[in-house]
Chains A and B, each alone.
Chain A
């Protein structure tokens, strides 16, 4: 049963990777990466129970925190319009150089 759940999470991760590669917009990719990270947390805790070593749960906690902070950090850039490459931005970069 634990192994069946592990396989199910593997399938969900593969589907998330397909969407992350094929995603039309940037936000689809960010969504797919976020789902992949959540599924990785579940996979680590399930594998800890399958192998009989529940100490893996520490890694799962750290991974959940890193996943959240990375997604919020990427989205902060989009809040300040850093993703839109307008010609003015390129000119200002050239001036700085």
Chain B
């Protein structure tokens, strides 16, 4: 039984730390603000969830388990909300995506229709 607990918690924790490192590399290497935000927003939520699930498997006390569930719920609620608000604020304040050909075409169409 102990072997099962050790192997499953190790699997979750190592997968979560791999996701955290890949999120950091994506934050450093991607060319654009929105792609960086994509990398961080995806891997942050899933990596934190994986590590917290691994710690939940390791925990023996019920109070520790309940606190880990609270941290997990907070992370799942907070991460996507922050990403959404950040992207909205950046777009409203004029941060343009790097490959913005489709966006500029859409704006041209809007201008033409407004002129007509």
Contacts and interface: CB of A to CB of B under 8 A. Distances in A.
Which secondary structure dominates chain B's binding surface?
helix
Question: Is the interface on chain A under 10, 10 to 19, 20 to 34, or 35 or more residues?
Answer: 35 or more
A58 B82 CA distance: 22
Contacts of A32: 27
A26 to B, nearest CB: 9
A63 B41 CA distance: 18
A19 B18 contact: no
B74 A27 contact: no
Interface of B: 9-10, 13-14, 16-18, 20-21, 23-25, 27-28, 33, 36-37, 40, 44, 47-48, 51-52, 54-55, 58-59, 61, 64, 67-68, 70-71, 74-75, 78-79, 81-82, 85-86, 89-90, 92-93, 95
Interface in A10-33: 11-16, 18-19, 25, 27-28, 30-32
